[in-house]
Chains A and B, each alone.
Chain A
Amino acid sequence: MLKPFFVVYILAAQWAIAQEAAVVKFDRVHALIESQSDGINVINFWATWCAPCVKEIPLFEALNAKNDPTIKVTLINLDFVEKLDKVNLFISRKNMKSEVLLLDEIDYNSWIDKVDKRWGGAIPATLVINQKTGQRRFIDRPLGEGDLEKMIFELRNQ
């Protein structure tokens, strides 16, 4: 009897409660990159202190808001873990809905190559993978107009 109300309550709660960043180690990111699925993985590396990163977050939020079941957007935050509160405040202030993972791995040299060998470590950086074909696109600069759509289109049609 109460079930429909319960569902509505859950949905309302999800909508009202702001997203929070999950603190993760690299194995989580690695699993994401290597995940077995038929979809497109869009992974962006950013930090709250990085102005060009902050500027392009709306692009990822807009993509995520399309609710396309074949596209998974993940924002990997690189603020220091002691800044978690600041990151969560940022997420709620911007009302961000995409999944945010705070990557707490300070020994950068140990994992940067595992994301993409072409990456020098500069952020923002965006990795788009077609998980089925294994094809990927990588940009370690701010995205230009249409870059994101172009990468997704190319990976879908290869």
Chain B
Amino acid sequence: MVTLMKYTKRTFLLLWLVFLFAWKTSSYDIGDIVADFTLKNVDGKMISLYDYKSAQGVIVIFDCNTCPYSRIYNDRIINLHQKFVLKGFPVITINPNSPTLSPGDSFDEMVARANSKGYTFPYLVDEHQEVARSFGASNTPHVFVLKKESQGFKVAYIGTIDNNSRDASAVTKNYVEDAVNALLENRTIAMTRTKAIGCGIKWSN
């Protein structure tokens, strides 16, 4: 009986570990409600997703200082914020890169980037890389468009900004703009998931 209990205990522990592991590695899909997070901004203040609960939604972008694609898309990200902030869809950028592996992504370098480009939106440090992991972000820039609903922020689009990184003037599909416009006009989003070549997030483990 004692042995049986021991085994049951052990099995329970094992199951719990499996569950914990599965939970930790799962990532958001279209339609999922996003858990709140709180991260430090380049101005030193803490910012939470649910600080934005009066917005229509949020354009969350995992981004960094060092990736060439992030640099290429920097002005396009600034434009996205300018275009949609007054319509209720502000941009929040989050840097998930380990500064140990990528020194150009240190907090000081992030502050310098935000200042030199005159960011009017948050540029948050995902120090423990937990937010990037929970979202399932894999590269930079990686966009998640969230729509505010009564239950919380719901994932509406996951992917890339547009279909031409090399040349903004040659873009024929503005995936993020199209998604946000569809949400604003209560239409279905034509493409809810896209992929693009990008720099892999510099994971510390």
Contacts and interface: CB of A to CB of B under 8 A. Distances in A.
Interface of A: 45, 49-50, 52, 78, 80, 106-110, 112-113, 119-124, 140-142
17 contacts: A52-B202, A80-B166, A106-B164, A106-B165, A107-B164, A108-B165, A108-B196, A112-B195, A113-B195, A120-B139, A120-B195, A121-B195, A121-B198, A122-B201, A140-B200, A141-B203, A142-B200
Contacts of B194: 109
A79 to B, nearest CB: 9
Nearest to B167: A106
B19 to A, nearest CB: 23
Nearest to A115: B195
B138 A112 contact: no
Interface of B: 68, 138-139, 142, 159-160, 163-167, 170, 175, 194-203
Contacts of A110: 163
* SS class, residues of chain B in contact with chain A: loop
Given A108-B160, A108-B163, A110-B163, 6 more contacts: A106-B164, A106-B167, A108-B196, A109-B159, A123-B199, A123-B200
Looking at A80, A110, A119, A120, the one whose CB has the most chain B CB atoms below 10 A away is A120
Contacts of B198: 121-123
A120 B201 CA distance: 11
A106 B166 contact: yes
Contact of B200 (A80, A109, A124): A124
B166 A121 contact: no
Contacts of A120: 138-139, 142, 195
Contact of B160 (A78, A80, A109, A113): A109
Looking at A49, A78, A121, the one whose CB has the most chain B CB atoms below 10 A away is A121
Looking at B164, B165, B175, B197, the one whose CB has the most chain A CB atoms below 10 A away is B197
Contact of B163 (A45, A78, A107, A121): A107
A87 B116 CA distance: 31
B195 A50 contact: no
User: Which 6 A-B pairs give the minimum distances between C-beta atoms?
Assistant: A122-B200, A120-B138, A122-B139, A112-B195, A108-B196, A109-B194
Contacts of B164: 106-107
Contacts of B160: 108-109, 121
A26 B195 CA distance: 15
Looking at A50, A119, A122, the one whose CB has the most chain B CB atoms below 10 A away is A122
A110 B200 CA distance: 19
B137 to A, nearest CB: 9
